[in-house]
Amino acid sequence: MSAVLDPFVLERAPGPVVGLHPALVRLRMAFNGTSELLGTIPDERLTCLWVWDGNDINVRYAFYRMLEILESGTAEVARAIGGQESSEAREAVGQTSAARWDLQGVLAGLSDLDLDADPGGGEWTVRQTMAHIIGGQRGYAWGSAYWISVRHEPKPEGPRRAPDHLFASMPEDDEEATGTLIDVRRKLDDIVDAASSRFATLTTDEMDAAAGWYGFPVTVGFRMWRWPSHIEEHTVQVEKTLDMINHRRTEVERLVRLNARALGRLEALVFGRAAEQLDAGAVAATIDRVADELRGMATPVKAAADAGVPGPPD
């Protein structure tokens, strides 16, 4: 795993860390490569001829074929995992990864210019919203690590907040989404992967630890489930911003997002699981098969779109 977990988290919430399984890394690479290439296809080429498995069909179906590969793979993984042990913490980071992929599906169709386009009315740009999402994910990790570190200490009456000075060294939001769109998207992946590597392994005792959120008394488990909902909340904000800047989403952009969501559903099953769980029951083998099928589609589908031969009607 290339993402680095902030020392703050491990210092205050030491414990086991689980990295990304190599099969999941390979799946992401295959998905991203295929999506990036097919994402360059203009809408008007979706009706072009693509020969799939010896059958004449159109390029549009290639996107739905990706969906079928991902969804059938997800079902196969679910059956293979069966009754394997999980935990609330792992389920929470799994849903966080699913939310991340939905957001990545929205971002995939944007350009660097879209990041800083002013929606007017004092509303945030896409970059500012992404900075808040990334900074928020870091803040949730730091705050939860603090609450875990003091879980055995009595809590005073009244608002429950972590001491402000603990976060003095945390990057400001405006430092969290600098660079190109590719840089920002990678930063989002890194913060989700890094924080999840530790929090996926939290025990029930750690999840039940008393914590605070906006001064409200909650548990660390509450804060964990806030991870995915926070990403989802601001994905809606990004979509509203795109409407404000008159970014009209193409059919291809919508299809890319559809498949990103499907990848998120698959990751929700396996993200944060120990390697031995994925190596058992052919789970990793299924993930690799899905990756191979996705990877094999990219070049021929793009070539078919570029050739421009009219295909059969839908």
Please compute the mean of the pLDDT values over residues 99-126 and round it to a whole number. 97
In the chain, where do the E strands start and end? 49-52, 55-58, 210-213, 216-219
If you compute the radius of gyration of the chain from its CA atoms, what whole number of angstroms results?
21
Per-residue pLDDT, 280: 81
CA distance linking residue 69 with residue 286, whole number of Å: 11
pLDDT of 2 > 90? The answer is no
pLDDT of 3 > 60? The answer is yes
Residue 230 bridge partners (DSSP): none
For the 92-272 domain, the top CATH level (class) is mainly alpha
Looking at residue 17, its amino acid is V
Question: SS3 breakdown of the chain: % helix, strand, coil, rounded to 5?
Answer: 65, 5, 30
pLDDT in tens, 42-71: 999 999 999 999 999 999 999 999 999 999
pLDDT in tens, 183-199: 999 999 999 999 999 99
pLDDT of 98 > 70? The answer is yes
Per-residue pLDDT, 233: 98
Residue corresponding to tokens 């939905």 = 102
| Burial bucket for residue 152 (CB in 10 Å: 0-12, 13-18, 19+) | exposed
Please compute the mean of the pLDDT values over residues 236-265 and round it to a whole number. 98
